[in-house]
Amino acid sequence: MKQLIYSLLLFSSVAVYGQKAVPTRSHVKYGDGENSWLNIYQAKSDVPTPVVVWAHANGQDVTADNFPAGVWKALQAAGISVISWESVPRITQVEEVGQGEKDFDAVMNWLNTHYKEYNIDVNKVVISGQSRGSIISFAGANKFSVNIRGAYFVQALPNMAWKVRDFTEDISQSSPLMVMAYAEAPGSKDGHTPDNGKKIENRYKELGIANRFTLYHSLGKEGLYSHLAAFVKKVTVEK
């Protein structure tokens, strides 16, 4: 599919980022591309920490530097580190989705090599992303070989993203525990309607794994990440 999906920008989730978190290490290269860099927010801990691998939304001047300070404060207090990664800064064409998915794989390969340097437990990985970030992370969250314990997507898979492909086809019996969180209620005319999350929920049900999927809606933009720290703690607890 070659047509421009510029309309996706109309539904870009310009998050209530507010104040930006300050990274422990900034603009670390994970590949050779101009935009192949990531920021690391390292929680203090005597033992290796869980990590959230997060991709930002589309938006004017929104980059991987825009990880919200309030979200980082909650995760840091819970002993959870974060990697915020850059790729194609704004998704405007179908081909850029494929590039973002390749970059996701490169980030995960980087993590699998460098986790010890940042006191990260590579077996306690949670994938997260907002709008654009959910689009380019979704396939990898469902297939990557690193031990992904869960996925937490915000304003996930907006309307126009479904012109790229049917994302329900990425779901399998081995898909991780997943949360999708939305600001609006079902039936919303906003491009980030939770009705898109219901498509994924229905696929989990069809596969008999409905207990591994949670849909939150009507959270408002301020509440989109309110369940993230608790979710990470839940899915990364030692069994």
pLDDT tens-place string over residues 27-57 = 999 999 999 999 999 999 999 999 999 999 9
pLDDT tens-place string over residues 5-20 = 444 444 444 444 469 9
Rounded (5°) CA angle 19-82-71: 35
Q: What is the mean pLDDT of residues 147-165?
A: 96
Closest C-alpha among 162, 167, 180 to residue 217? 180
Rounded (5°) CA angle 168-169-173: 90
pLDDT for 239 equals: 54
Q: What is the mean pLDDT of residues 132-150?
A: 92
Relative to beta strand 177-181, strand 213-216 is parallel
pLDDT for 144 equals: 77
Closest C-alpha among 47, 19, 55 to residue 140? 55
* CATH number 3.30.1490.20 given to 7-236: no
pLDDT for 14 equals: 41
**pLDDT exceeds cutoff 90 at 146:** no
pLDDT for 15 equals: 43
CA dist., res. 144 & res. 163, Å (int): 23
pLDDT for 13 equals: 41
Contact 80, 43 (CB under 8 A): yes
Confidence of residue 119 (pLDDT cuts 50, 70, 90): very high
Tell whether pTM > 0.85: yes
**pLDDT exceeds cutoff 70 at 204:** yes
Contact 167, 138 (CB under 8 A): yes
Give me the chain's average pLDDT, please.
92
Relative to beta strand 25-29, strand 37-41 is antiparallel
**pLDDT exceeds cutoff 60 at 156:** yes
Q: State both tokens at 57.
A: 């939304």
Q: What is the mean pLDDT of residues 146-173?
A: 95
